[in-house]
Amino acid sequence: MCIIAVVIGMAIFLTVGANKKSERSTGYTMIKDEKLKDDVKLPYTNLTSYIATNDFIYVAVCEPGSASIANQIVKIDRTSGAYKSIFHSNLDKAATQGLKNSGDWIIWVDGDDLGGSTKFYAFNEKTNKTLSFGTTSDTVYTDFPEISGDLVVWAEHEQVTKQTKLMTYDLTTQKRKTIRTVSKDKWKVSDYTIRDGVIAYIDKSSEKMMLHVQDTKKKTNKKYPITAKNPDWLTFIDEHTIVYVDNLKQGQFDKNKLMTYSMKDKKESALFADQKTVEVDSLSGFKNDAILTEVNNALHVFAVENGVVTEQPFTQKNNWPLDSVDISYWNHEFYIFENDVDAHIYNLTIDTEL
């Protein structure tokens, strides 16, 4: 999970006409969506993140010629292909990114290319209104937010007090809460995930790492000791089971373990246990109570069967080269992302089959 510096900032919103062309276009982004009659060619580059709902696609992109990494959120109609910008950063060198969605809400992060001047934003598809939240001072670092339903969760790391605070924000009531504070070390909360109001996170504040599972509706907090050295990419596979990557060596992505923890049985186990280490390149939800992961340059699907995480049969209709594309799965659809950074050409394919 990336860390971004946060200072007080401001944002303006710029709406452009559908299919308005850029006079400075030197590259483009191509959207290939199975729901569209024709592909949509956008006069934007530097696609940093993307999500889709039933009716729209949202991409964080930049107009060619800008000094920004990405500086706006573009909304694309999945029926007509018409598109417009619903957010434009006011920063000279912006890095708009981190798109996620749940229900009617779309969230993202806007900041400069050095990780400063950062703010969180949420857009509601029903009301077409945008709100900002999560603004802190320039002495606080924050992680990218996660969302489930109307609830957003993220961690804030305070440089002066050396505290980490796990925060939530209810997008409907617009109320912010601190649900956990860890003293003395700003990196004590290493990763977190949320599902149906239940937040799971790893706490490093004791000698032994602890998995916390906090139910915000039932007001309960359960703790489970785990053996991971550097856990990351925490993901619910079902309501009782967590999957995560244990990074055994800092900065070496090919020396990892893919781990599971059953809160029902209080047992930890490694997937691919016959291999000492594996290279894990992605991890995302897959349909109902399953995950899709790329391990050792191959795609795998795992689900829980009779309390055991078990690999599922998986077929592909296309032979995508995994070493040159990024593949993920959300909202019952595959996202296949290709990019040619030198040519400023970005392709995003969305399909219900891979």
Rg (CA), the chain: 20
pLDDT for 140 equals 80
**Average pLDDT over the chain, rounded to an integer:** 86
2-16, 134-148, 238-252, 293-307: least confidently modelled range: 2-16
Q: Is the predicted pLDDT of residue 14 greater than 50, yes or no? A: no
**DSSP secondary structure, 240-296, as one string:** TEEEEEEESSTT-TTSEEEEEEETTTTEEEEETTTSS-B-EEEEEE-SSSEEEEEET
Q: Is the predicted pLDDT of residue 290 greater than 80, yes or no? A: yes
pLDDT for 12 equals 22
Q: Is the predicted pLDDT of residue 4 greater than 60, yes or no? A: no
Question: How far, in Å, CA of 131 to CA of 143, rounded?
Answer: 19
pLDDT for 13 equals 24
Residues 94-107 have pLDDT tens digits of 999 999 999 899 99
Q: What is the DSSP letter of 22?
A: P
pLDDT over 70, % of the chain? 88
Q: How confident is the model at residue 190 (pLDDT cuts 50, 70, 90)?
A: low
Phi-psi region of 128 (alpha: psi -120 to 50; beta: other; left: phi over 0): left
Structure tokens, 104: 């009617």
> For strand 189-195 and strand 198-203, is the pairing parallel, antiparallel, or unpaired?
antiparallel
Q: State the average pLDDT over residues 246-270.
A: 89
**DSSP secondary structure, 135-187, as one string:** ---TTEEEEPPEEETTEEEEEEEETTT--EEEEEEETTTTEEEEEEEE-S-TT
Q: State the average pLDDT over residues 134-162.
A: 84
Q: Is the predicted pLDDT of residue 327 greater than 80, yes or no? A: yes
Largest CA distance in the chain: 60
23-37, 117-131, 282-296: least confidently modelled range: 23-37
Q: How confident is the model at residue 187 (pLDDT cuts 50, 70, 90)?
A: low
pLDDT for 21 equals 36
- If one compares 248 and 145, the residue with the highest pLDDT of the two is 145
pLDDT for 317 equals 84
Residues 43-101 have pLDDT tens digits of 999 999 999 999 999 999 998 888 899 999 999 999 999 999 999 999 999 999 999 99
